[in-house]
A and B are shown apart, each in its own frame.
Chain A
């Protein structure tokens, strides 16, 4: 009994120290988790499908609540849950087609509702392959990687529902600094 009392006192005594030391740590941690979960986070690019604009291993700051406040916009670089495995895989792609659009890829160019889509973020000589026509429903977006010859995107797995779009990439922070909107 005495021993249990001793252990209990130790826990209470130690708990006090943990509480006092831990409270600031926890305030930081909670603030960080809230920021990281609901507002701003960082991801690292893995792969070449957004070349030449985003490179492999670049660190990107992205907003998680952008698309809770407003709807995604055309040409946004977005973080997206992979439709094939949304719980594990996340993609970074560019939104090219909006709900209700008809996207057509023909002869190396992208057409939006029958008109040639001007994409100034791509090298002028870059051609978009994998021809096809996709009509998007009211809740669907068409996402494509900037590296058109080497990107796995809506051209292969189809348009994605809005629920798969997680947030908007804001800026490259490492190893260079550049706002995504300037790309």
Chain B
């Protein structure tokens, strides 16, 4: 029964990355098939079912006249109605190619197309008569006067496509400015568009690097050479982490877990190929973000193994609780005066800008692909814009927003970091037995946990009481190799499910 339950639980616990992957793969497959199936290319046959007369059994024959007018702006009117077709630029000529009749399912004994040209150029135009799927005689072309020509087709079958083509000298048409600009841009080579597409994000990247570095220069703390063997103040490690990174990430969450263990709120249990957390005591002095983090891990239980933690992490695609945890850390740091504005809000401002720019870029990209065909190199401009927006959203996180108070506090912590990462070994003494674990959460958020552990490599190691393992004779190296993956895994998993944009 227990085995059955375990199997069922396993089935539910699909990781968030797997879920995203499955979701995206499904979308990818559907979209790819959708896009591809939209294209049908005709292996166009003659249409032998039309009968010997080509009428396809249609007995009511009729004569049809079309009045086609090419306006000086390049628009085309058929029987005084504006057509969606326009005169297009083809190299050094301007071309009208328009299917006047296309598979209308009606037999015509005669079709006459009277075409009015925009200028008196009838004697200098080129012409082509395309009559597809018709068994009658070829379409004929005739100049009526200086600005009028006529195409005549006879015995036009119900499946026929009748396309008169006129080529005019360049400059005959004077299109609107927008169309002119568009035509001008579409004449750019693929290489130029690729260069433009790459240059835009490159310029954005350079601008963002300049912005970040100029702000960083303004609030520069300089190289801290001093070394302090004590933390400058009693701060939760997560706050030190956000002061250092300006961001709450996996390290801040992992360090909070170790800190909670150190303060005997939880036990971390290392089992063979597994781990678990257990509640120890109820501490009324817990900070609100710590309480929320614990509630995410334990819910109502006092014990939570890997499977349960994974299930809780993966219960939703995004977790509001984790957002509350990170929001709480940001708020505390801002309240302490370390940041001029809440880093979360600052990130959000740029993220919003990035999101809007990104979607405009993608919208333009898709529109350009659809509007300008064969092939739409113009779309590279929009793609460049979308990538630029991503760069803004990502790089903005690194814009320094610490206040003078924050800078000073960070300098003190950097001095402490120098102590943690000092390569000299710490000599063994009875008093510093617990120093390693005491400062371990700070070492994690200050990115120097490995060098901190190295300082104790010559000590005899005693496994902390908050760390439960069935391994015997565990040394410092074994302890680090066993603890770090657990806390970093949980920290990373939790950081990944934070709701973006949550306030």
Contacts and interface: CB of A to CB of B under 8 A. Distances in A.
Interface in A70-119: 79, 81-93
Contact of A42 (B20, B36, B318, B393): B36
B41 A45 contact: yes
B286 interface: no
A152 interface: yes
A45 B36 contact: no
Given A12-B501, A17-B499, A157-B130, A33 B366 contact: yes
Interface in B66-109: 85, 90, 97, 99, 102
Given A12-B352, A25-B27, A152-B44, A19 B358 contact: yes
Contacts of B348: 12, 16
B163 interface: yes
B376 interface: yes
Count class of interface residues, chain B: 35 or more
A40 to B, nearest CB: 10
Contacts of B430: none
A19 B24 contact: no
A15 interface: yes
A44 B161 CA distance: 22
A46 B43 contact: yes
Nearest to A24: B24
B35 interface: yes
B39 A150 contact: no
A179 interface: no
Nearest to B377: A38
Contact of A41 (B36, B190, B317, B352): B36
Contacts of B24: 24-25, 28
B31 interface: yes
Given A19-B500, A84-B163, A89 B42 contact: yes
B48 interface: yes
A137 interface: no
A28 B24 CA distance: 8
Interface string B322-341: 00000000000000000000
A161 to B, nearest CB: 8
Contacts of B427: none
Nearest to A8: B352
A126 interface: no
A151 B374 contact: no
B28 interface: yes
Contact of B352 (A15, A82, A89, A150): A15
Interface of A: 9, 12-21, 23-26, 28-30, 32-34, 36-38, 41-51, 54, 56, 59-60, 64, 68, 79, 81-93, 145, 147, 150-153, 156-158, 163, 166
Given A20-B500, A158-B128, A163-B90, 5 more contacts: A24-B24, A34-B383, A44-B39, A68-B190, A163-B374
9 contacts: A17-B499, A18-B355, A19-B358, A23-B390, A28-B31, A85-B161, A90-B39, A92-B41, A158-B130
